[in-house]
Structure 1
Amino acid sequence: MKLGLYNAILHDRPLPEAIKVVADLGLTGLEINTGGFLPAVHVPTFDDILVSDTARDDFLGLFEGTGVAIAGLNANGNPLHPNPAIGEKHAEDIRRSIRLAERLGQHRLVTMSGLPGGELGATRPNWVVNAWNSAALDVLDHQWKIAADFWRETDRLARDHDIKVALELHPQNVVFNSADVHKLIDLTGATHVGVELDASHLFWQQMDPVAVVRHLGELVFHAAAKDVRINPEHAALNGVLDNSFRRLSPDEPRTNLGGDEWANEWPKEAAWDFVALGKGHDVAYWTEFLRALHEVDPDMLVNIEHEDTELGPVEGVAVAAEVLKAADTALRESLRS
């Protein structure tokens, strides 16, 4: 396995410093954000790299001799958002990132399937959580047509540039579970669209990431190592779909998600939290997660994503890295026995 880090948590420092953090923690890859919800902070020469070999070589030169390589690109966003200021921009970020990946010698781009509005003329996305009534299925029919058209076209572009596009199975997207993956492939005939297996979103939905990897098999292109802790005292009262988020005011630090959309404050008494590896599931679990990925691709890129608010950026990545490396060691030892 190839173990690395998704770079968003290190956007507060220049790329060479981020690379050093990764190397010092004994990881060998850095997945780089190239648009979508977050700007391409670590690729300031993005436009130049697309057309200039010198700019490309200068950028790649930052990794030479560090022991760290680029481990895929990431353009997570909502390319199907009905507001063109968000949807069209995020869609173009995906297309540009596919071209950038080819220029950088990469073959993996992580993103999300996206979520349209629920009907013609909608201005906001509409996520159907439980389609028990006919109107909800009407919404889904509308959304799936939009999604299929977009991903059929994007698959052709990815195929032309030899890039596998890995969709994170993230709630508030059309594709967020195994059944949706199969539906998208069936509707589009895609050959270069598959899955980024981020275990965290599967945990809180009561899915089994190991089972999902084995079920999807070669449709798993890429993986993220992020843990979840269920807080049973709160989950017992409000369930995992609790919406007790707080809207942040303009004078508070907040993350823009495109247009006039912002990330909210996480519930204080949350049913579940994103945590560093080991705080939700132990080394033995992550060993089996890596084993399932190894069965699909022994060279799978597995990158830590740090969103544990109880730990600082480098501190949290260090905790996760020790667990992930221990799991990788345990896997390799078991394969030799």
Structure 2
Amino acid sequence: MSFTYGAYTACLQDRTLPEALEVLRGIGLTGAEVNTGGFIPSPHAPVDALLASERARSEFLQVFADAEMQLTGLTASGNPLSPLPTEGLGHAHDLRRTIELAGLLGVRDVVAMSGTPGTDPGARYPAWIVNPWNGIDLEILEYQWSVAVPFWKEIDALARTHGVKVALEMHPRNLVFSPPSFERFVELVEPTNIGVNLDPSHLFWQQMEPIDCIERLGSYITHVHAKDTSVLPGAATRGVLDTDFGPVPEDPAQRTPTGMGHYCSTWPEDPAWRFVAIGEGHDAEYWSRFLAALAAVDPQLNVNIEHEDAAFDRVEGIARGAKTLLAAAAQSGL
């Protein structure tokens, strides 16, 4: 067996599922990961119908078979621990339904985020504690873990029941955003069916080395998002945790969506970093070494491109990434 190379279809939400799969197959990919809830809607998977009807599930899977593509993951990335009524309960519900649906569809991988609670039981907003050298911050973290642990123990049991693996994105603004924070998660939750979705872009952003992270996390890596980051000259004076962003543009045409009803703030003119298409931040030789490190952990991983580079059209961005990724795969014999 070897890696399955595909893409996350959320950026192709303006196309039908057959059309999106045709795009991916046309650029040499063989797998697709679809969204089923969380921060963004579910344009390519009618979750209610799929949960309710075996016939609907059969027809859904036939779309992939007809396109000669594999369904390699369901994604419900959100904040299931958020105190916001528009996030926490709904995102947790989406995640539970996604796990159940993955089991019914025979899909191994469910992608999620660990989430971020508020600072205390009365908090209105989630709060990400980044550098808790202050004792008060450590107290906040202890409270947040007390919220996270029972929730994720429940989710782990649910995933075990349905025979799927939940893969957490180590994304900033979450309790789990680095190998050490995931190791704390493992110590406290003792999961059997929760691992890591290795997305190197989030690690590059934080100035980590993804290959070192792969070696440290080992078999906990159960899924991969292929995405690149470019750290820019602005980092010299802004740092990669820069907060100098402006409000969401008033003109809807100028807004960049980050989820259903959520939009990206306005970036600084000289940003410290940005997500880029694969190959725009690191060349094929780097990605060859990246894939080799993953193969040493598990040669049967699903590797899906996630396109978030606003400099390129959606199809062009995925195609550029696929060209680099498949060249790296050929170079490394994977």
Q: Which residue of the partner structure matches residue 88 of structure 2?
A: 87
Q: Give the Cα separation in 1 of the matches to 2:85 and 2:200.
A: 31
Q: Give the Cα separation in 2 of the matches to 1:11 and 1:264.
A: 21
Q: Which residue of the partner structure matches residue 60 of structure 1?
A: 61
What residue ranges of structure 2 are gaps of 5+ in the alignment? Answer: none
Per-residue CA deviation, residues 283-326 of structure 1 (Å, 9 max, x unaligned), is 11101111111111111100001111111101111110000000
Q: Which residue of the partner structure matches residue 38 of structure 2?
A: 36
After alignment, is 182-191 or 242-251 more displaced?
242-251
Q: Which residue of the partner structure matches residue 236 of structure 1?
A: 236
Q: Give the Cα separation in 1 of the matches to 2:259 and 2:307.
A: 18
TM-score, with structure 1 as normaliser: 0.95
Q: Give the Cα separation in 2 of the matches to 1:230 and 1:164.
A: 32
SS in 2 for 1:245: coil
Whether the aligned pair in 1 keeps the contact of 2:72 and 2:108 (CA below 8 Å) is no
User: What letter matches 1:24 in structure 2?
Assistant: G
Q: Give the Cα separation in 2 of the matches to 1:127 and 1:47.
A: 32
User: What letter matches 1:21 in structure 2?
Assistant: V
TM-score, with structure 2 as normaliser: 0.96
User: What letter matches 1:20 in structure 2?
Assistant: E
Q: Which residue of the partner structure matches residue 4 of structure 1?
A: 6
Whether the aligned pair in 2 keeps the contact of 1:257 and 1:263 (CA below 8 Å) is no
User: What letter matches 2:246 in structure 1?
Assistant: R
Q: Give the Cα separation in 2 of the matches to 1:190 and 1:322.
A: 36
Whether the aligned pair in 2 keeps the contact of 1:32 and 1:72 (CA below 8 Å) is yes
Shift of 1:242: 1.1
Shift of 1:256: 6.4
Question: Number of residue pairs matched?
Answer: 330
Q: Which residue of the partner structure matches residue 26 of structure 2?
A: 24
Per-residue CA deviation, residues 165-197 of structure 1 (Å, 9 max, x unaligned), is 000000000000111111111111111111000
Q: Which residue of the partner structure matches residue 118 of structure 1?
A: 119
Q: Which residue of the partner structure matches residue 246 of structure 2?
A: 246
Whether the aligned pair in 1 keeps the contact of 2:6 and 2:30 (CA below 8 Å) is yes
Whether the aligned pair in 2 keeps the contact of 1:226 and 1:305 (CA below 8 Å) is yes
Shift of 1:264: 1.9
Q: Which residue of the partner structure matches residue 182 of structure 2?
A: 181
Per-residue CA deviation, residues 202-248 of structure 1 (Å, 9 max, x unaligned), is 0121111111111111100000110011112x111111111122222
Q: Give the Cα separation in 1 of the matches to 2:112 and 2:264.
A: 18
Q: Which residue of the partner structure matches residue 324 of structure 2?
A: 323
Q: Give the Cα separation in 2 of the matches to 1:218 and 1:332.
A: 21
What residue ranges of structure 1 are gaps of 5+ in the alignment? Answer: none
Whether the aligned pair in 1 keeps the contact of 2:249 and 2:265 (CA below 8 Å) is no
Whether the aligned pair in 2 keeps the contact of 1:226 and 1:274 (CA below 8 Å) is yes
Whether the aligned pair in 1 keeps the contact of 2:214 and 2:293 (CA below 8 Å) is yes
Shift of 1:128: 1.0
Q: Give the Cα separation in 1 of the matches to 2:286 and 2:6.
A: 19
Whether the aligned pair in 1 keeps the contact of 2:74 and 2:109 (CA below 8 Å) is yes
Q: Give the Cα separation in 1 of the matches to 2:79 and 2:241.
A: 21
Q: Give the Cα separation in 2 of the matches to 1:240 and 1:301.
A: 29
Shift of 1:67: 2.1
